[in-house]
Structure 1
């Protein structure tokens, strides 16, 4: 009986040991297949190259300045008199309207007195002219008849002989006449009229102010024509032409204006090595001092294409697609702008990327996006 229990115990132990090694063998012999990564093929947007003439656009910016402006200065002294319109910034005036009127009552009386003296002087020589120079009497009589002390004195009669000239000059008539003409010229400076239609942008005096000679009174501009002064690199000094049409954009880019190059400075700025170009622009919405951005067409680059700057690698290469595989070709960049680059030496008909691809490399398998139509890069 004991021997039977011992035999059963030995058999049980052998079964347990056999089961252990059998399980271990099964575990070791079991192989789990490694998962194969799926090959991801990126979809790319492409375009076919067609070389052509690419305009080189030079960006520039500046502030608008009125093309016609007048700084108002006084050449005489007196009290500023009130006019029909207030002398205030923003006030509009028509051409010929009085901007400034300075009290000239005292000076006007002096002019009138001088005119009266000249009239009396000519009147006093009339009897002598009748007797000694009867042939010139009538024209001097006509001069007196047309003499109006409240108006500008008429031109003196033309003197036909030396005798007449000596006689008239000897009586002091010529000196008196030109003295009055000088006084009349100065009297006119007590009134300043608007030289053109425009707006007063600066007013430094008010009614009742004592104005002194040489004092600045204000500033008057024409609001129809403006100029934009821009600095351009000297590289394009021989490419810009007067009369070129220029696109101008406001700083917020909400509106576009059309301008025209009217003048180009012939001197290069020593400090910045730039030249100054002046662009004329007209629009009722424009105001002096507005900041505008100009795009000047400097020249056209033949047999070239324009692409986004992000597509050009630092090695001056771009990606092309050949049989659904990316490849690199060398190119020659000729002009860079903020967002694009103009390239040469790109073969016609070749397919290039039109949008950058993350992680792109030569030999990369790609899929061309089919819903592109027939776009070409020119």
Structure 2
């Protein structure tokens, strides 16, 4: 009986020694990139019930696909940070995992990557920020609240700009006309550490705003002044639009007036600075003084009317409207008799029209052009005749 108990005890011991304890893996929590691209790696220690602890082995790769290189080891169980010099995480993301070595079988952490911040689309007067998460899905103890910092242009210090929850993108309506401005992203972990992205710079704004698209140029029927309408600039930092005309004598542009505010898309020439025959252009100026390029100008329709009272005819002639992308579909001829309201008389693709007139009736005419898309019109000056 004693022998059976002894054998049973030996069997239990052998089985116990054949099934070693399974240790927990270390948990990577934070990666903080400094100004020169070095990385502070922070992790949480695994369970300590595996007896003797040997090392943490830290592996790194500049690519998620590897290969991963053992960059160093930490021999103290209670040391849970490592400063990786030469990671170049200011140039691209760096990828890390940690292996724990003890009496238990070695265990590996998840692989996480540094947050890499990039800035784009500055030509439109915004700083569009894009970055990546440390891991997908998120590290369980991360707050998932990204804190966005921007350099104060006066003090030179990073200051909180905004926050973004679970969204790795942000658009900042900001441009710099002087020194470059720094941005950096931070995220706090509930374990107490903080991850930080690289510092990305918004460079000096030297980009010109996009070309201003003129909708139409018309003549005010009451004052005879030129009216110009255009589309609002897509560049968020535009502060003014300059009305200019093409000077055929010196083959250059003459600025006529300036209107302020990006949402100002209408100009009425109250001081008659413009002539209907002028080729009119608009260019935008942003807050750094960059100007868009003026393109081929729009010219209004200039109407002339010649009366033949003996023959009972009014011959109307007008200049072609320039410069719609879809061209002019047709010209509408409007007529008013004895001061009455204008009525559509006829439509033609030509630049001339003959109208029958009668003695004792006064006539006024104007021409309205319609573009090929059917969305834009331009009206000429008014010509009147009195019999």
Which is higher, the Rg of structure 1 or of structure 2?
1
Report the structure, 1 or 2, having the larger helix content. Answer: 1
Report the structure, 1 or 2, having the larger strand content. Answer: 2
- TM bin (shorter chain): under 0.3
Higher relative contact order (CA 8 A, sep 6+): 1
TM (norm. structure 2) is 0.23
TM (norm. structure 1) is 0.24
